[in-house]
Amino acid sequence: MALFLTFLYAVGTSVVLPTPLEAVLGAVKLAPGWAVITVAVLGKFVGAYLVFWLAVRVKGLPRVKAWRGRNRYAQWLMEFGRKWVDRYGAAALFLLLLIPGFPDTGAVYLLAVAGGRPVAFSLATAGAGAVRLSLAYLGILGLTQTLSQ
């Protein structure tokens, strides 16, 4: 059950929850660390891909196109996102998401709406999550072992 909840939370951090992914490490008390990290990374990938899939559907809606056409802020944001995606790509998203505790929901949404490479960006999101979780887990594990001596 802990791993299922970990998966759902990881999906949620990509889709709706503006919270850091590292919170899933609380499940380490109920499941092995490697399993928690693996399930969370899979959830992060699924969530990011779901956001990209939804963004493609939403940005094609006539109402959204009309709103984007008349809203200067939306036009600027879309243009900024498109230029950023074209210039830096998924590698930049990976580096951006390596910031510890960074709630990445906003970045995933912006790139989903502006970009067109869902698998690359979903892999970047999941890869950054894997690195962040692994480093946090190793830090917690090391701290726990140090304090217990």
pTM for this one? 0.81
Ramachandran assignment for 89, one of left (phi > 0), alpha (psi -120 to 50 degrees), beta (any other): left
pLDDT in tens, 101-130: 666 777 777 777 676 678 888 898 899 889
pLDDT band at 42 (very low <50, low <70, confident <90, very high): very high
Q: Which residue has the higher pLDDT, 14 or 37?
A: 37
127: its two tokens: 């890869």
Flag whether pLDDT at 87 surpasses 90.
no
Own/partner contacts of 49-58, CB < 8 Å, gap of 24 or more, are 49/118, 49/119, 49/122, 50/11, 50/14, 50/15, 51/14, 51/15, 51/108, 51/109, 51/112, 52/112, 52/115, 52/118, 52/121, 52/122, 53/118, 54/112, 55/109, 55/112, 55/113, 56/118, 58/113
Distances in Å between the Cα of 5 and the Cα atoms of 12, 15, 44 are: 10, 15, 13
Contacts of 30 (CB under 8 A, 6+ apart): 1, 2
Range among 7-21, 30-44, 57-71 with highest mean pLDDT value: 30-44
Section 57-66 average pLDDT: 80
CA–CA distance, 147 with 145 (Å, rounded to integer): 6
Q: At 1, is the pLDDT very low, low, confident or very high (cuts 50, 70, 90)?
A: confident
Mean pLDDT of 22-40: 87
pLDDT at 101: 67
Residue 103's pLDDT is what?
67
Task: State which H helix or E strand residue 65 sits in.
Answer: helix 62-70
Answer for the pair 43, 125: CB distance below 8 angstroms, yes or no: no
